[in-house]
Amino acid sequence: MFLGYLMIWKVLSYPRYRLTSLPTPLERATRLSKELGVELLIKRDDVMELCLGGNKVRKLEFIIADALKKGCDVLITRGATHSNHVRLTAAAAKKAGLDVYAVITPPGSLATQGNILLDRLLDVKLVPISRAEEADEAMEKLAEKLKSAGRRPYVIPAGGASELGVLGYALGALEILQQSLSLGVKPNYIVHATGTGATQAGLTLGLKLLGASDVKVLGISNGRKASEVTKRLVDLFNSTAEMLGVGVKASESDFTVYDEYSFGGYGVITSEVVNTIKYVARTEGVLLDPVYTAKAMYGLIDLVQRGVIKKESSVVFIHTGGSPIVFQYASEVEKYL
């Protein structure tokens, strides 16, 4: 473990622009634990000062610091219309005195509610396009246009899925282990929604550096095929480890991703999803969202019931945020209330 702490110091050597107070709470889900037959802890990364919080904040601390170090004055990123990443990038940008543009794509409505309402309040320059496949090219063209106008743009990939973004959850892994220890718990599993990959790659990297690879990180895909997510994870892990110079390497066998809980694809909302939101709200008073966290919690519950997650084991569920999405999809959620 001591060697692991030395490795983590390499992460801490990178500049950070502080956006929230850490650690976030790690709370016991007493009633859910009793019903499921496991010791369930919820890592409340939805509880942060920055604009209603979420997992992107940890990544943005390193990304914003890099943008400022490079003298950039405007951020460009991308996401779905309901994107938590866009909202939090905008909030972080304003806190740092930067402008922000966002290329946004389906799914999700452009109606002024949920994250779109918050984006407009934060003065994000929204650039809607119809095809997600063209978003990266649209960001590049926008960057060139801004450069021609004398601006200094900094392009952030979807979800903050870069090597710097991975650092946020490498430190998050240390935070989870320290808090668990203080509660007298040794986690067996960490479960969370996975998509662009920086959260899962960071957790896995952090645990490996700390000598805690026996803690199994289970990613519940929010829409992409497991094979696609896994490839992203391997690439992100290895490029980040190379950047840090820590001498570790990952292969596909180091990652576990389940893609059977998307209920028809990214952003698709079904009765199972809404029932999970209701179940957790009515047992623990915790609000999940219909795109990410409800699907991840459904997966967690099913994996317990199937015996993949062993009874009486200790499970940390990372609440990655997203509460504004509930309001953005109010009409879809209402169908199943």
Pairwise CA distance, residues 264 & 30, whole Å: 31
Pairwise CA distance, residues 323 & 317, whole Å: 16
Q: What percent of the residues of the chain are helix, what percent strand, and what percent coil, each to the nearest 5?
A: 50, 15, 35
Pairwise CA distance, residues 59 & 65, whole Å: 10
Q: Is 18 left (phi over 0), alpha (psi -120 to 50) or beta?
A: beta
Tell me which of 13, 33, 83, 148 is the catalytic residue.
Answer: 83
Strand order in the sheet with 74-80: 125-128, 99-105, 74-80, 153-155
Pairwise CA distance, residues 298 & 276, whole Å: 6
Pairwise CA distance, residues 99 & 92, whole Å: 10
Measured in degrees and rounded to the nearest 5, phi and psi for residue 306 equal -85, -10
Pairwise CA distance, residues 170 & 175, whole Å: 9
> In the annotation, is 83 catalytic?
yes
Catalytic residues: 83
